Amino acid sequence: MAYHKPINYAITFFVFCMLLIQEGCITKEEKDLALARIIPKPLSVTGTGHVFKINRQTVIYVQEGSDELMGVGQFLAEKLRPATGFPLEVKATSAAPEEGVYLALAPDISTGSEGYRLEITPKLVSLTASAATGAFYGVQTIRQILPAKIEQAELQKGPWYLATGTITDHPDYGYRGMMLDVARHFFGVDDVKKLIDQMAYYKLNMLHLHLADDQGWRIEIKSWPNLSTIGGKTEVGGGEGGFYTQEQYADLVNYAKSRFITVIPEIDMPGHTNAALASYAELNCNGKATELYTGTDVGFSTLCTKKEVVYKFIDDVFAELAALTPGPYLHMGGDESHATALEDYIPFVNRVQEIVRSHGKQIIGWDEIALSALKDSTIAQYWAKADNARKAVEQGAKIIMSPAAHAYLDMKYDSTTVLGLHWAGYIEVDKGYNWDPASLVPEIKKENILGIEAPLWSETVTNLQEVELLVFPRLQGYAEIGWTPAGLRNWDEYKLRLANHGERMKARGINFFASNVVPWELQK
């Protein structure tokens, strides 16, 4: 109908102009995927210079057939709804859509189970991974490409642009962890869940919980109930302490699992055991229960390694913990056993390795365990003595790298930091970032290393705000060391990305240390 033509032309022209105006409003930065402030830095990012706009109609499609992938789609929607105010419906689909967001599994994608491929065009955000874990990490990347205000819990003004292009990504190390000491001071389930969320945001996958030490026993053990009812009663400084019931612990483990994080429970032994020794007289060589302890000394306690009941105790504890632990690892501590003679320590570690293996789990111990004969698959966690780590490597063990002078979250940032310790030196944010696990100790080569873990010992921190102040913004650096190959890491470039995460941390309600080595003023 010829008489309609001029109207059609006019409409087309009008739409064209609107598009021009709109594109004109989008900043160069918003269109440049290479400028997205993603931590950890992805392996490869190629921008194509346009944007995908999330709007009220955007649907998140999930390839049908995997509940886990559906969970990841729901997770993305939940994270984007509060700030956008959009419904973001999540729909299972059998075929790839033409527009919207699409999550799919492709078993042949060569990025490993934790990798993903994210392709963003003006019409479609397509996230592909060989397993749900990779899709979950792709979702974290999507969150970080969006403006920082996406992290706010209340409605924000858009627009919500994702720069177009392709990201292919997978981690350098399979073990990327953080440790929280809940023994020196106790932290409840909600506090730990908040930390788990931050770990997931930075693609960490292992949460090591230091559940027992001289000052407290923090997990209910049904066959030895005094451990928590007596041993859990106090903490450093004499506060009221606490412990997780098995139900609470299982809830934590599940929560972590829903964020693709494995919980690793540690019961430190034969030293660091005063809380157990105070709970049960028979674990002591003199048959007398000790007093509860609320100071911060180390190295004064030991289980009586010559008594059979001690091994019955260990077997019972690890049996219950193994049943509560879907992950492959149990941690036996083994550090600073200064009150245990070496000739007792060595056979003790051998026997505990047998016990843990008998419950179908792989054992991790602090580097001192390398003084004994390590069994196949035993893992040593390097924290202090390179000699011990070398001994572990010589025995064929894999190493988790937690060098105190570089990766201890409880070290002060500088001499003015109020919280924390400094026996291993000060760790400013740049120092925490600037090291490489595979070249720190000459004899520990990349192929010997399982990954990295940053421990937070809690002698000086009493609540979550204090924990956060020591953890952030150093945790981001450890996450990047674990994920991004050394050749792609560079402090001067990283510090700009980290600055952008200042705003993100504020939006997420995190109390972080505003270190002056980070150019926070360049937040964009």
- Residue 110: C-alpha distances to residues 53, 169, 266 (Å): 29, 10, 34
Of 366 and 513, the one with the shorter C-beta distance to ligand TNX is: 366
Q: Are the C-beta atoms of 90 and 77 separated by less than 8 Å?
A: yes
374-393 binders of ligand TNX (CB under 6 A)? 383
Beta-carbon count within 10 A of 44 CB: 10
187-246 binders of ligand TNX (CB under 6 A)? none
Of 60 and 275, the one with the shorter C-beta distance to ligand TNX is: 275
Q: How far is the CB of 269 from ligand TNX (least distance, A)?
A: 12
The Cα 37–Cα 21 span in angstroms is 26
H-run or E-run covering 23: helix 5-25
Report if residue 186 touches ligand TNX, rule: CB under 6 A: no
| Number of residues engaging ligand TNX in binding (CB under 6 A) | 10
Q: How far is the CB of 20 from ligand TNX (least distance, A)?
A: 59
Beta-carbon count within 10 A of 305 CB: 22
Residue/partner pairs of 354-357 with CB below 8 Å, 24 or more apart: 355/311, 355/314, 355/315, 355/318, 356/318, 356/322, 356/330, 356/332
b/e code 81-101 from CB counts within 10 Å (16+ = b)? eebbebebebeeeeeeeeebb
Map tokens 């063990």 to a residue. Answer: 397
Query: With left for phi above 0 and alpha for psi between -120 and 50, is residue 32 left, alpha or beta?
Result: beta
Report if residue 336 touches ligand TNX, rule: CB under 6 A: yes
- State both tokens at 307: 């008594």
Of 116 and 457, the one with the shorter C-beta distance to ligand TNX is: 457
Q: What mask, x for binding ligand TNX by CB under 6 A, covers residues 448 to 467?
A: ---------x-x--------
Report if residue 410 touches ligand TNX, rule: CB under 6 A: yes
Q: How far is the CB of 419 from ligand TNX (least distance, A)?
A: 12
Query: Which residue among 336, 428, 453, 480 is the active-site one?
Result: 336
Query: With left for phi above 0 and alpha for psi between -120 and 50, is residue 425 left, alpha or beta?
Result: left
Of 293 and 383, the one with the shorter C-beta distance to ligand TNX is: 383
Of 382 and 483, the one with the shorter C-beta distance to ligand TNX is: 382
394 as an active site residue: the answer is: no
Of 59 and 298, the one with the shorter C-beta distance to ligand TNX is: 298
Determine which residue in the list 298, 319, 486, 488 makes contact with ligand TNX, applying CB under 6 A: 298
Of 140 and 274, the one with the shorter C-beta distance to ligand TNX is: 274
Catalytic residues, which ones? 336
Contacting positions for ligand TNX (CB under 6 A): 298, 335-336, 366, 383, 408, 410, 421, 457, 459
